[in-house]
Amino acid sequence: MITAILVVVFARVIQLQFSPGEALASHTPSRTRTQHLSAHRGDLVDRLGRPLAASRMGARVFVDPERVHEPYGQTILFLADLLDEDEDVIGERLVARIIRNRDAAAAGGRLSRYLAFGGVLTDQQADDVLAAVLPGVHLEPTPIREIASPIDSIAAIVGKVGPSDTGQPTGKLGAERWFNDQLLSTRGHLETVRDASGRGMWVEPEGYQHAAHGRTVRLTIDSALQRIAHEELVRGIEETNAAAGRLIMVDPSSGEVLVLIDHVADPGSLRHLAIDSEFERIRIIPDDPGRAIHPALGRNLCLQAVYEPGSTMKPFVWASITERRAAVPTETFDLHHGVWRTDFGRTIRDVFPKSERTWTGVLVHSSNVGMAQGALRLTSNELRSDLRRFGFGRATGLGIPGESGGIMTSEKNWSHWTQTSVSSGYEISVTPVQMARALCAFAREDDLAGTLPRLTLLADDVAPSDVQVRVLPQWVAFEVRSALLEVGRRMEEKARANFPNEPPYEHGLFGKSGTSEIANPNAPGYLDDQHHSSFLAAAPADHPRVVIIVVIDDPAPELVEERRHFGSAVAGPVVRRVLRRTFEYWGIPAPPAESNEPN
């Protein structure tokens, strides 16, 4: 009988322990304890695995108001000195929390044991907290996202993380945002069943979820090349007292973006030397408050700021005319000594007058007259549609939010005037990234010649044979390349004469310079003596490994007066220096001179 009673009592205890009734459930403490398992956000690395952004554990300071000893002045002064904050503000927060806890205790309520101050501490600040040994003052671990490079252009690509609703850091800007899904980590948890004393007894199978670290994301950017490009672009801007500059470098075979950089000069550093008493140098780069807060908040001039490309558009127009057999490379064009009036009454002028040149010579010597004559042999729809094939008038699809597609005159409004303007790179606006991608059609080799790559910033997304569109037959691509090789040779000859003390550049290149007037931001028309000066190139000349474009925005007006504002003189030297240092970094020996010919 006694045994039976004990069995019943024991069974009732078990039943109450594991399945209490509704009346008892509210008074029964939870028998499980949940512990969150942290995981770190994935690293951002460059193409060679060098860190661009990584997570580490740092510390924040917090106070347990219930353990702070009276008087509170010592704690308040310590925190104010540690965080360089006003002691009255800190004191008000701490005392208010202590008073609120006393009121809660009197009412039988719950006490607050956590009050955080400031942000992430430096290592020295954390050491100071530990050394102070103040009652109630503690450190809590917190994840820190650090950018590995001090260069703003890398910070602009990397971007920034911030808090999310889940408590996990999430991407807010730049690559941190673009690739957030891959970088994001997932917290785990461990639920332990406890006994009456709170000691852990076991873990149910469904009570454990492991933490998943974020993936490492490898970008196509080369941080060493980004640093080289930054140094040379800033040098080029400073030497020409320009308002800004932009530089992009792309691998033409794979479409990988190796370098993406812009730099805006301090407006206060710009010289306003007047060519005449009427001249006023207009600011062409609008204020960008976001850039001052964080580089990734700034307007990306390489993808979002359009400009009229000038003569760098001529290779693409020349290719269209040549492919359609409207002109052949050896045909001689009458250039009318550099001044030619069209049938519809427009006068076209050459910068360097000449009586005649071959069709190839028109491109090599950048004749506006010859290009206009060739363009008028096509219909407006033919030229416009061919330029659309090169990607002008639409975004490249690189994946960066806010990328501009440029501006192309509509088919309805495309006139003979437009046809001749576009032949010299006016009445069409582009971005540097569009220009770099388009030149890849002439830089790609073998079966890929005449095709465009798909641009990418994600190294693990590279597909060298992924051809989005064939824009030209191979033979036309090689004809353009052959002509642009002569442009590269001529620029190198001038560079060696103008910079005799610089190391020689020996790998060869093919490319095109461009100089265009800047559209007036305040009224119709163009600004007097203010220009975009650019150079677009591929190198080495025999087997191109990179396509590069440099745009120098608004070089100093005195350069215009001295006729030293052209793209070959302003942007060309930057291209040359970056290429020389790039091939030194890669350890590529200079090819024999006789091999600098297209395949």
pLDDT band at 275 (very low <50, low <70, confident <90, very high): very low
Is 441 in the same domain as 545? yes
Q: Which residue, 581, 547, 521, is CA-closest to 257? A: 547
CATH number of domain containing 200: 3.90.1310.10
Which residues are 250's β-sheet partners?
257, 547
Distance CA 485, CA 539 (A): 10
Q: Which stretches of 52-187 are DSSP H helices? A: 73-83, 87-106, 123-132, 152-158, 174-178, 180-183
Which residue would you say has higher pLDDT here, 244 or 597?
Answer: 244
475-487 as b/e: b if 16+ CB within 10 A:
ebbbbbbbbbbeb
pLDDT band at 58 (very low <50, low <70, confident <90, very high): confident
**311 falls within a domain:** no
**565 falls within a domain:** yes
Determine the pLDDT at residue 228.
97
| Cβ-proximal residues to 446 (8 Å cutoff; 6+ apart), any chain | 599
- What pTM value is reported for the model? 0.82
Average pLDDT in the chain: 86
Is 141 in the same domain as 160? no
**Given 147, 172, 206, which residue is the final one in a domain?**
147
Is 440 in the same domain as 538? yes
CATH number of domain containing 536: 3.40.710.10
Distance CA 303, CA 306 (A): 8
Is 486 in the same domain as 567? yes
Is 236 in the same domain as 95? no
Angle at 223 between CA 220 and CA 227, to 5 degrees: 135
Is 190 in the same domain as 257? no
How long is the chain? 599
Full residue range of the structural domain in which residue 554 is found: 223-303+431-465+473-590
Is 486 in the same domain as 574? yes
Note the pLDDT tens digit of each residue in 446-505.
Answer: 999 999 999 999 998 766 555 567 999 999 999 999 999 999 999 888 888 888 888 888
**460 falls within a domain:** yes
**136 falls within a domain:** yes
**128 falls within a domain:** yes
**Given 195, 219, 243, which residue is the final one in a domain?**
219
**345 falls within a domain:** no
**Given 219, 234, 257, which residue is the final one in a domain?**
219
Q: Which residue, 561, 557, 516, 560, is CA-closest to 535? A: 516
Note the pLDDT tens digit of each residue in 92-150.
Answer: 998 999 889 888 888 888 888 888 888 888 889 999 989 988 999 999 887 778 888 87
**572 falls within a domain:** yes
Indicate the burial class of 497 (C-beta count within 10 angstroms; 0-12, 13-18, 19 or more).
Answer: exposed
Which residues are 547's β-sheet partners?
250, 538
Is 198 in the same domain as 275? no
Note the pLDDT tens digit of each residue in 412-430.
Answer: 999 999 999 999 999 999 9
Q: What percent of the chain has pLDDT over 70?
A: 85
Is 44 in the same domain as 85? no
- Torsion angle defined by CA atoms of residues 13, 19, 20 and 25, in that order, rounded to the nearest 10 degrees: 140
Structural domains in the chain (count):
3
Note the pLDDT tens digit of each residue in 518-574.
Answer: 999 888 899 988 999 999 999 999 999 999 999 999 999 888 888 899 999 999 999
Is 498 in the same domain as 577? yes
Question: Is the pLDDT reported for residue 598 higher than 80?
Answer: no
Determine the pLDDT at residue 274.
44
**447 falls within a domain:** yes
Is 191 in the same domain as 289? no
Distance CA 296, CA 421 (A): 35
Is 529 in the same domain as 557? yes
Note the pLDDT tens digit of each residue in 200-219.
Answer: 554 556 655 556 777 899 99
